[in-house]
């Protein structure tokens, strides 16, 4: 005689399945929103050369980054012939005599974070718990960064929803 077999893996009723899926999506959405810090910046008026309260190190970092505009993106690159985002930031800080870690995640993990970015500070971006991009804050809600393959080091506005939603924090390696 055959006994009836019950299986806990039988399909759920369609309405219950839809409700459960909706709850899962809502929880994932709320979890993603909860981890994004608010982006705050502090600017000084006038060109870099006239900003009295910027350290010489910050001025050197920003000048190196500005000179790198137009440099082709090269994954792992750290030279004027090609650089990636963290190669740009590392080279810019080395120009000011400041040694920082190599990758954006190492920079994020190894540097003390600040609440408000000032010109010459690092700004980090990513998703979830990881950081995948870094740029140098230049003031006026703009940063210089190396955006990716096939592109060049460029100046980007931070008013963009993408940057706001992927912002992870800022650090100030320069005095």
- Positions marked active-site: 85, 133, 145
129 C-beta neighbours (distance < 10 Å), count:
7
Taking the C-alpha atoms of residue 43 and residue 119, their distance in angstroms, rounded to an integer, is 7
132: enclosing H helix or E strand = strand 130-139
**In what helix (H) or strand (E) does residue 30 lie, and over which residues does it extend?**
helix 14-34
Q: Which class for 101: exposed (0-12), middle (13-18), buried (19 or more C-beta within 10 A)?
A: middle
**74 contacts 83 by C-beta, under 8 angstroms:** yes
């Amino acid at each position: 005689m055959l006994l009836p077999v019950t299986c806990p893996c039988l399909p759920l009723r369609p309405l219950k399945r839809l409700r459960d899926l909706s709850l899962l999506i809502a929880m994932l959405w709320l979890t993603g929103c909860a981890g994004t810090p608010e982006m705050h910046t502090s600017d000084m008026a006038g060109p870099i050369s006239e900003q009295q309260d910027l350290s010489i190190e910050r001025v050197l970092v920003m000048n190196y980054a500005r000179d790198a505009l137009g440099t082709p993106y090269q994954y792992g690159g750290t030279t004027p012939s090609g650089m990636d985002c963290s190669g740009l930031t590392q080279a810019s800080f080395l120009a000011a005599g400041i040694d920082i870690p190599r990758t954006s995640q190492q920079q994020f993990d190894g540097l003390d974070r600040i609440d408000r970015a000032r010109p010459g500070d690092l700004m980090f971006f990513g998703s979830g718990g990881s950081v995948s991009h870094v740029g140098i804050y230049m003031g006026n809600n703009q940063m210089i960064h190396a955006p990716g393959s096939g592109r060049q080091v460029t100046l980007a506005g931070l008013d963009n929803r993408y940057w706001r939603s992927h912002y992870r924090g800022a650090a100030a390696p320069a005095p």
